[in-house]
Amino acid sequence: MVSRRDAIRFGGAAVAGALAGTALSSAPAPVARAAAAPAPSGPVGRGYYLTFCRIPTAGLATWKSIMDSFAEDGVEHVVLWMGGAFRSRRYPITWQYNRAHRNVRENFVGALIDYAHTLGIRILLGFTPYTYDGTNQYAFERPDLKGLQANGTLARMQGIHSWGYNLNPTKPDAKRFMLDYVREMYFDFYPNADGMLIESSDIDICTGGDCGGAKHYYEIEYEFVRQISDEVWAHKPDADILVHPNYFVGGPNGANLPYDKRWTIIFSPWTVNLDLAAKVTKAYYFDLDVISQPPANVRASVRWVRDHGFAAYFPSQEFFTFVAEHPEFNETNLVGQQLHPFGFETIGLDENPYRDPIVAVNRVALREYAQNPELSDADFRARLGHALLGDGTTEQDIDDLLFLHTCCYGRNKSYFSLAAQADPRVVTDRLERGLLGLGDLRAIQSNLDALPPVSARLRASRNPAVRRLTRYTQLIEHNWNRDARRLLAAHLR
């Protein structure tokens, strides 16, 4: 079974192929299959997922601009992962690692939620019970609450940005902390939110000691989910509460507990179960294709969601602007580095990155394919060109735009950096870890050979929007300096 870590590392399409036991696929291929019902007509619902806590540099004005972009995409729900990103008064240890975060300093999310409502967007607050951002910091103050691994040893230090320790939910003080922390976030800080995402974890959860294995762990975690859901619904009966399927799927990695029809289940490539999806009131599908794959994969995910009766496609739109203090996903080259949105050092740390034309390629893909999953390639290209390059765009202009998108979002794109094609530092890291083969290196060289004529065409264009694309050819040419090209040539001998 592919792990969540591998899913994030390789992206939705690669994970889908692995789950299906096949080669790389361009569409999700879940473990549990069922006969697909006739494809429903009409647009596909959509939402976006963001780990707000890992974007410490953006202020309210930028976030309002981001919500404007999301409204253009027809997004109906946005998850803002808030663990570790608000100035908890009861548990200040939860934000000390993130004290430079703009919302920790300025507390503007309430105003942002109000603004999103004017655009017709519902905001859900995200967190994980007993672990992950903010929550995993509590064990630094209370090491007696650390979870136990299956072999009986204490939880290891891990995370993304917020590195800490998973908690033991069998401990009364851990239960008390978790309830109090989420109550404070939702009821005291942001009661105008429209609900929450409760994202269960499968990474280093407490399975030793009284936790009694993964199945029992999810039974314990379910008690928290049940209680906080009832409290939120008492406060706001129409609140949207998204939960993961671990509580309902049974088997060695899940419990078999009562489902409340008010819950929406959000599935991912590593948790899809079509039998369960067919039984619940509402099901969403999450993957990483919008931030890591070509437009064809976005189209495939939209069609799969449509064909299997999911209520919405709910992909990640995550970017990061924290300074990496740990080897995130074993990328030691990132330690001490300032991360930039989607890996583009040309995008400012307090700037709306979704206006960037390369980033916007998949925004347009989601918007257009969600409106019409059967949109032809020719019509998609025409709409893409018009949206990003304006009137008078030529087929060659669109080819060049998509070529640059492939360079930045193509082979071995990091969760934190550009693809290896655009950033030789990624090539060095992947070579050191044995993650690049000769075919990958040859493809990189081929695209580098194709870059000069692309750059020349862009510079000569009479269309200002097309000429502005030279910033990407310049970026790639700058990154691939003489030493980097020598390194590539040495590995191609």
- Write the DSSP assignment of 245-298 as a string of letters: GGGTS-STTS---PPPTTEEEEE-TTT-BHHHHHHSSEEEE--SHHHHS-HHHH
Q: Per-residue pLDDT tens for 270-299? A: 999 999 999 999 999 999 999 999 999 999
Q: How far is residue 295 CA from its own chain's centroid?
A: 16
d(Cα 31, Cα 254) in Å, to the nearest integer?
A: 15
Amino acid at the residue 377: D
Q: Where are the domains of the chain?
A: 46-357, 381-492
How far apart CA 489 and CA 122 sit, in angstroms, is 51
Per-position pLDDT tens, the chain of length 493: 455 555 555 544 344 433 333 222 333 433 333 334 455 567 899 999 999 999 999 999 999 999 999 999 999 999 999 999 999 999 999 999 999 999 999 999 999 999 999 999 999 999 999 999 999 999 999 999 999 998 889 999 999 999 999 999 999 999 999 999 999 999 999 999 999 999 998 888 999 999 999 999 999 999 999 999 999 999 999 999 999 999 999 877 789 999 999 999 999 999 999 999 999 999 999 999 999 999 999 999 999 999 999 999 999 999 999 999 999 998 988 999 999 999 999 999 999 999 999 999 999 999 999 999 999 999 999 999 999 999 989 999 999 999 999 999 987 788 899 999 999 999 999 999 999 999 999 999 999 999 999 999 999 999 999 999 999 999 999 999 999 999 999 999 8
Q: What is the pLDDT of residue 32?
A: 35
Q: Tell me, what's the pLDDT at 402? A: 98
CB 341 within 8 A of CB 353: yes
**Of 142, 321, 378, 150, which is closest to residue 252 (Cα–Cα)?**
150
Q: Give the Cα separation of 34 and 273 in Å (integer).
A: 9
Q: At residue 435, what is the residue type?
A: L
CA angle, 73 then 353 then 298, to 5° = 45
pTM: 0.92
Q: Which two tokens stand for residue 451?
A: 């870059």
C-alpha 319/C-alpha 175 separation (Å) is 31
Going by C-alpha positions, the residue among 171, 169, 233 that lies closest to residue 201 is: 169
Q: What was the pLDDT predicted at 409?
A: 94
The residues near 449 (Cβ < 8 Å, ≥ 6 apart) are: none
CB 196 within 8 A of CB 126: yes
Distance CA 17, CA 35 (A): 19
List Cβ neighbours of 343 (8 Å cut-off, separation of 6 or more). Answer: 408, 413, 414, 416, 417, 418, 422, 423
pLDDT at position 41 is 61
Residue 367 CA to residue 355 CA, distance in Å, equals 14
Task: Please report the pLDDT score of residue 250 as a whole number.
Answer: 85
Q: Write out 378-446 in H/E/C secondary structure.
A: HHHHHHHHHHHHCCCCCHHHHHHHHHHHHHHHCCCCCCCCCCCCCCHHHHHHHHHCCCCCHHHHHHHHH
Q: Which pLDDT does position 194 carry in this prediction?
A: 98
Domain spanning 46-357: CATH superfamily: Glycosidases (3.20.20.80)
Q: 420 is written with which tokens?
A: 């290896």
Q: What local confidence, expressed as pLDDT, does residue 42 receive?
A: 73
DSSP annotation of 32 reads: B
Q: What angle do CA 348, 361, 295 make, to 5 degrees?
A: 135
